[in-house]
Amino acid sequence: MEAGKPKNLEGILARREKKLAFLLLSPTFLLVVGIVLFPLFANFWISFKPVSLADLRPPTILIKERIKGNLTQPGEIITIEYRYRNSSMKYSLADVVFDDEIPKSVKVLDMSQNCSIKESADAKIFRCVLGNMAPKERGKITLDVLANIPLEKENFEFSEVQSDFKTTNVLTSFDFTIANYMKVFSASEFIKVLKTTVYYTFFGTAGALILGLFAAQIMRKAFPGRALVRGILLFPYVAPVIAVAFSWVILFDPFSGPVNAMLIELGVSEKPINFFGRRVTSFSIFGLEINFPVTLSMVILFEIWRYFPLSFLFILARMQSIPSDLYEAAEMDGATPFQQFWFLSIPHIVGILSVLFLLRFIWTFNKFDDIFLLTGGNAGTRTLTVNVYEQAFAISNLGAGAAVAVIIFMFLLIFSIIFIKFTPRDES
């Protein structure tokens, strides 16, 4: 028994430490649930609801009280007017009732049939039963009272009108529909928008990785001014997106942009090219008619230029961790610079390239601000994220916008699982 005590004590301490660990981690868990999981759940919830922008404000009854008459003169008839309306344009209200407290010193002379007075030792309550109200319905109820003593307007407005009703809140009800998904998938442009998104994402991601890889290879060896060049290379990524986007729009402007002016002076182009407004241009190669997407290619070029510094930083950090002895031995064995790069550098950086491709693919697929600032989604650059914005805010269909967002999430989730499963791992 004595020998068993340390083991029991050890088990008790381990359980206490486990409880303490869960307790310490609980704030982080709640933060993750609140910041990540709750918005995700809310997006799924809204995607199965016929929700518009007008539905964000739940239906209610709006009542405005107005006092008419000479309040300072005793014996005068005072009219209290209640104007009411249903705030919703789509949903009705049921069992509508409102109460208002009026001064005890007044005598009720006339009121509507659906209203009544309830007196107590402390107050006099005016109640009206309005019943059911159709969408946008409005009306007016008056109450005539006789004041026995001089009163102020504040005597009638010291208490707010209290209302009670029943209604359907589309956001919190358990009525679901797949109409949003049916609308999204049945839209004639959905497949086209999806193809545009995949095209933009793949080439934008691959281009940023390739350019970042070349920049890292160049910056791997020390040379005078390397620190300055590194800082310049980071400029596209750290600069405000709205500033660089408008700079590109001005540079490639067909009327006053310097790029078009240089192309015309050099004889490359006979007339200005609308880089951010021309959907496609056609040309022939070996008898084949090629349709080149001008604006979409410019947006992809902007994406590559803006985000290659991130790839450059990660790849350069991984390259600098490769022992220099390997390159020296390969050089002594007669390996060319390309062979050193292909057989030494690539195997060591394939892991970070895979991670960067996955992250950049997800981020680019979700990219909205670059496209919106450059083209507004016009000229063949309408992607799924732009579609979310147009559905949710341009035509006020939040449900359809949420459905597109869910489709994006599911697409990226499936892509990530497949990519992680078949991606080679960097064992080093």
The DSSP symbol for 388 reads: H
The rounded Cα 400 to chain-centroid distance in angstroms is 14
Q: Which residue matches tokens 């050099």?
A: 266
Question: What are the percentages of helix, strand and coil residues in the chain, rounded to 5?
Answer: 55, 20, 30
Using CA atoms, how far apart are residues 373 and 299, in angstroms rounded to an integer? 10
The closest alpha carbon to 386, from 280, 299, 328, belongs to: 299
CB 161 within 8 A of CB 85: no
Half-sphere exposure for 297 (CA within 13 Å, toward CB) = 10
Give the CATH number of domain 59-167: 2.60.40.1170
Helices (H), 366-394: 369-374, 384-389
Per-residue confidence (pLDDT) for residue 1, from 0 to 100: 46
Using CA atoms, how far apart are residues 239 and 232, in angstroms rounded to an integer? 11
Would you state the CATH architecture of domain 181-422? Orthogonal Bundle (1.10)
Half-sphere exposure for 101 (CA within 13 Å, toward CB) = 11
Per-residue confidence (pLDDT) for residue 6, from 0 to 100: 60
Per-residue confidence (pLDDT) for residue 147, from 0 to 100: 78
Reading the chain (428 residues) residue by residue, the pLDDT tens digits are: 455 556 576 777 778 888 888 888 888 888 887 888 888 888 899 999 888 877 778 889 999 988 888 777 777 788 889 999 999 888 899 999 999 888 887 888 888 888 998 887 777 889 999 999 999 899 999 988 887 777 776 666 667 889 999 988 888 888 888 999 998 888 888 999 999 999 999 999 999 999 999 999 888 888 888 889 888 899 999 999 999 999 999 999 988 889 999 988 888 888 888 999 888 887 667 667 777 888 999 999 999 999 999 999 999 988 888 888 888 888 888 888 888 888 888 888 888 999 999 999 999 999 999 999 999 888 889 999 999 988 888 888 889 999 999 999 999 999 999 998 887 665 54
344 CB neighbour count, 10 Å cutoff: 18
Q: Which residue matches tokens 């650059």?
A: 381
Per-residue confidence (pLDDT) for residue 425, from 0 to 100: 64
Helices (H), 85-129: none
Per-residue confidence (pLDDT) for residue 154, from 0 to 100: 67
Q: What is the helix (H) or strand (E) element at residue 42, kind and residue range?
A: helix 38-47
